[in-house]
Structure 1
Amino acid sequence: MTTIVSEQIAGQDAEAAEQVHALTSELVSDPVRGYTELRRQAPLVRVTLPDVETPVWLVTRYEDAKAALSDPRFIRDQGKVPGLETDGPSIAEQMIEAYGLPAEYRDYLGIMVLVDGEEHSRLRNLVTKSFTARRINALRPRIEQITRDLIKPLAAKKQAELLEDVGYPLASTVICALIGIDDEDVPQMQTWIRDYASGDIDLVIPALRNMVEHSKTLIAQRRQAPKDDLISGFFKSGEEDSQALSETEMVALILLLINTGITPPALFIASAVLALLDHPEQLARLRAEPSLLGRAVPELLRFTSPVPMGAPLYATEDLLFAGMPVKKGEAITSALLGANFDPAEFKAPEQLDITRELGRGVGHVAFGHSAHYCIGASLARLEAEIALDQLLIQNPGTTLGVAREDLEYFDLPGEGRHLRKLPVNL
């Protein structure tokens, strides 16, 4: 009987898997409507992402997402799949193509994110030295001061646009200092990264060109006069490593850190503020018990997941995953936001609960999992904790500055919808 039931379930899963669903940017960012039905259909479902022709297997369940992200049979570099003959661009290449980026800039994209094994470890080890727990914890007083300096003039005006006035300048100032970007250049870098993240190709290409050239200039300066920053550390590591970084790799790592160290943290701060304003009973609880902030931030990360989709992974062999067959060379991707709303892992996941006790480890996959877990996770949590404290707890009068339905959003291919602005009254 057990065998018959298992065969029936497998048959149902296979039938569901034959359907290909178009995963729009709106659905990518909708944890309930976007993923609930897909999660019910099968452990893996076939989807196409915006501007990507090749179907991928989508993982929507929490335990399956963690398993996929740590399974050595899946790799990020399609070109390293043994014996695979491809007749078209990879998923990542199609997503880059969707942006319309010139070919000469593509070598600067995807570093560390789209590599595996020893190459990934080599690059990651060079960067993690700047993100140790001790170094991040030591930044708290500085981040608190930066945040106070940003909010003080806004409080006098009684209004602010949180992305423009707090989220982006806070994240930009902190990550640029770690990288080695001079203070006077931070506002310009912030403008470039916002243009780059806008999805508007007329802004994206000039911004990318400017960031590449600025990074090359910084590299040349630090080669001649090193400082206590990440770029100078590249050269120190090169003296001890026979596989020293090339200039292209240095530029690519700088761009990676600028992008991931500014845009997702800034968007998360805005999304977290909005989530709490949307749940006044939770905000009231947080204001009454500020000690809950350390638990509230992980719950807000679960609830909003600023990076809703994981990078594509390719099967290195024919295999069974979550009981379903995946062929060599086929791609799977994890719906990180969807996994964070899996009712099998989280009780009433659609409810924001700042007292929620999350499970093992960090208890969510908003920062990914395993070898590619976000290097800047602890920094992003610290920035959010300080920003939420000063914006919502120390300023108890903070309210939304426009009608909820008037908020503006923008789409990024394969990355969902994001707030364009968040006006508030202080």
Structure 2
Amino acid sequence: MTITSPETETHALTSELVSDPVRGYMELRRRAPLVRVTLPDIETPVWLITGQQDAKAVLSDTRFVRDQGKVPGLAEDGPSIAEQMIEAYGLPAEYRDYLGIMVLADGPEHTRLRNLVTKSFTARRINALRPRLERITKELLAPLAARGQAELLEDVGYPLASTVICALIGIDESDVPQMRTWIREYASGDIDLVIPALRNMVEHSKDLIARRTARPADDLVSGWITSGKNDPEGLTETEMVALILLLINTGITPPALFIASSVLALLDHPEQLAHLRAEPELLASAVPELLRFTSPVPMGAPLYATQDLEFAGMPVKKGEAVTSALLAANFDPDAYQAPESLDITRDLGRGVGHVAFGHSAHYCIGAALARLEAEVVLDQLLIRHPHLTLGVAREELEYFDLPGEGRHLRGLPVAF
């Protein structure tokens, strides 16, 4: 569709467009800093941001909120974008209170929830996990290398990510494989799998909370329960279940997909892989560049304007939704030289250097853990196994679509 007026024309944000960081967003970026789009199965149009500076600015702008209900004086005008997305999945009403916590919270409420979670994600605690991550990865890879082949998502990405995040939460080791199955079904986009998986995870979480209430351990859930005793601001059971689901979902699927996408990106760029193998010390700079290049969470959550305002030189009315295409922002030619090129020596500048983990108050709590997992896996998988290749022809790789998020790898077969 040709956009003649960015204020009136609307684009359908298809999976093909969302998944193409260069050609897919190029025309939209040329038209205006903000363009009107619709997400799959969502009627309400939103303003889409494709520039990196604008994406950072909106995520730091207190005139925008995640919770539509906090827009002052906004007349009820149908469900929010998040509610429409939940409706599109066909999720039963009784489970909706468990979705969107912290991601859709603002201000003091968001700060309260975030502070309760970040205690288990300090830099010191995450760095202390490296020996354990290395051991788990070695144990996963040894039989695969002996067999000569593997499917990285099934055999490495999901097992590693789920083992680590479940241990932090307090999920028993014996229950991790089942939780991994449920989260994969939940992330599949297949409603016949999504609803039973969500129901099972909710019930398992309630049971975990009951067991940790009776017998606390050294884990996140026990900490919530202990700190919440006699505290009027302590977490409710519903909030704890919602946070467990959030951590399981964000701590397993995106890191697993990032590991697979990073390996594929390096196999697609053999000169960069050869450079990394020749200089393994570049791994620390390679992972941020791979995060920029793959952006495992390509789209940010909607934000709502709390007043009529001007943003990036364009008028936004009170109550209108704005969202950032994080993948597009990470390929913004105004922010990076030759962004379509993977360069493991790229200087990303001050700070993080990309928006793959979001920005400001909603910056991903598990960012340090995801980086560490990727460093360990890429080191042991690609550097220590110099002959690793794709196990199928490139065109035979399979993908699946998620509404508003584009295409994701269904699996990544490799040969040692």
What's the TM-score once normalised by structure 1's chain length?
Answer: 0.96
Residue segments in structure 2 that go unaligned for 5+ positions in a row: none
Distance 2:82 2:6 in 1: 25
Residue 181 of structure 1: aligned partner: 171
Say whether 1:212 aligns with 2:202. yes
Superposed CA deviations along residues 79-130 of structure 1, whole A, max 9, x for unmatched, are 0100001221100111111111111110000000001000000100000000
Residue 339 of structure 1: aligned partner: 329
Residue 64 of structure 1: aligned partner: 54
Letter in 2 for 1:264: P
Distance 1:182 1:89 in 2: 38
Residue 382 of structure 1: aligned partner: 372
Superposed CA deviations along residues 332-375 of structure 1, whole A, max 9, x for unmatched, are 00000000000000000000000000022100000000000000
Residue 356 of structure 2: aligned partner: 366
Asked if structure 2 preserves the Cα contact closer than 8 Å seen for 1:196 and 1:205, the reply is yes
What's the secondary structure of 1:35's corresponding residue?
Answer: helix
Residue 136 of structure 2: aligned partner: 146
Distance 1:94 1:359 in 2: 38
Residue 405 of structure 1: aligned partner: 395
CA positional deviation for 1:318: 0.2
Letter in 1 for 2:251: G
**1:355 counterpart (328, 336, 345):** 345
Distance 1:328 1:14 in 2: 24
Distance 1:410 1:99 in 2: 16
Distance 2:5 2:153 in 1: 44
Distance 2:333 2:77 in 1: 39
Distance 2:297 2:253 in 1: 10
Distance 1:197 1:398 in 2: 28
Distance 1:424 1:51 in 2: 35
CA positional deviation for 1:241: 3.1
CA positional deviation for 1:29: 1.6
Residue 9 of structure 1: aligned partner: none
Residue 5 of structure 1: aligned partner: none
**1:99 counterpart (71, 85, 89):** 89
**1:199 counterpart (186, 189, 207):** 189
CA positional deviation for 1:265: 0.1
Letter in 1 for 2:365: I
Asked if structure 2 preserves the Cα contact closer than 8 Å seen for 1:17 and 1:42, the reply is no
Say whether 1:157 aligns with 2:123. no
Say whether 1:286 aligns with 2:248. no
Residue 264 of structure 1: aligned partner: 254
Asked if structure 2 preserves the Cα contact closer than 8 Å seen for 1:91 and 1:312, the reply is yes
CA positional deviation for 1:19: 1.2
Distance 1:86 1:410 in 2: 35
Say whether 1:168 aligns with 2:168. no
Superposed CA deviations along residues 141-188 of structure 1, whole A, max 9, x for unmatched, are 000000000000000010000000000000000000000000000000
Distance 2:275 2:208 in 1: 46
What's the secondary structure of 1:381's corresponding residue?
Answer: helix
Asked if structure 2 preserves the Cα contact closer than 8 Å seen for 1:14 and 1:324, the reply is no
Distance 1:389 1:273 in 2: 11
Distance 1:183 1:373 in 2: 29
Extract structure 1 runs of 4+ deviating beyond 6 A: none
Residue 6 of structure 1: aligned partner: none
User: In terms of mean alpha carbon deviation, does 302-311 or 229-238 score higher?
Assistant: 229-238
Give the aligned length.
414
Change (3 A) 1:359 1:240: farther
% of aligned pairs identical?
Answer: 81
CA positional deviation for 1:18: 1.8
Q: How does 1:289-308 map to 2 (within 5 A)?
A: 289-308=279-298
Asked if structure 2 preserves the Cα contact closer than 8 Å seen for 1:95 and 1:414, the reply is no
Q: How does 1:319-338 map to 2 (within 5 A)?
A: 319-338=309-328
What's the secondary structure of 1:410's corresponding residue?
Answer: strand
Letter in 2 for 1:258: I
Asked if structure 2 preserves the Cα contact closer than 8 Å seen for 1:402 and 1:424, the reply is yes
Distance 1:236 1:213 in 2: 21
Letter in 2 for 1:169: P
Letter in 2 for 1:243: E
Say whether 1:28 aligns with 2:18. yes
CA positional deviation for 1:15: 2.4
CA positional deviation for 1:236: 1.9
Distance 1:193 1:264 in 2: 11
Residue 112 of structure 1: aligned partner: 102
Residue 225 of structure 1: aligned partner: 215
Say whether 1:88 aligns with 2:78. yes
CA positional deviation for 1:240: 6.3
Distance 1:24 1:146 in 2: 38
